[in-house]
Amino acid sequence: MRDAMSELSTIPTVLTVVGANPDAYAQAVSRVEAALSSRREGLGPLAADFFVDGGDKESVKAALADLAVDFAIQPAAGRRKGLLIADMDSTIINVECLDELADFAGVKAQVSEITERAMRGELAFEGALRER
């Protein structure tokens, strides 16, 4: 399997960094900017894209390894997506979005129970998503 970080040194790439902790996120931004020549675009208070034309992948790995942030590397061309399905909303925004939508629909108690079962590891992602 190809190492996603190898993309940094071969083609125009976007490094996306997302954090839940403001201090860790600020450290990540500082470290990435020190390790790479890049242009940063903010995506929100704790998320940014770094547009990179090349760089040292090992420096980026080392810069982010000990921080509580998530990051993704992808080619700049064609990276915009129309839909993202991820079961990490409470990690990023501290709210279970499906539970809130269920509240609007009048079934929050039932959906929240499924969410809790999934958080305890009793249901796999796909099963929990389908059941909710």
56 belongs to the catalytic site: no
Q: Are 52 and 13 in contact (CB under 8 A)?
A: yes
For the chain, the average pLDDT equals 81
Homologous superfamily in CATH for domain 4-75: ACT-like. Chain A, domain 2 (3.30.70.1150)
* Residue-range domain boundaries for the chain: 4-75, 89-131
Whether 99 is catalytic is: no
Q: In this predicted structure, what is the pLDDT of residue 2?
A: 45
Average pLDDT over residues 99-103: 85
- Of 70, 89, 99, 103, which is the active-site residue? 89
Enter the pTM of the model.
Answer: 0.57
The Cα–Cα gap between 2 and 6 comes to 8
**Average pLDDT value for residue range 35-52:** 88
Q: Give me the catalytic one of 49, 87, 99, 103.
A: 87
Task: Please tell me the distance from the alpha carbon of residue 100 to that of residue 114, in angstroms, as a whole number.
Answer: 13
Give residue-wise pLDDT tens across range 12-39.
Answer: 888 899 998 999 999 999 999 888 888 8
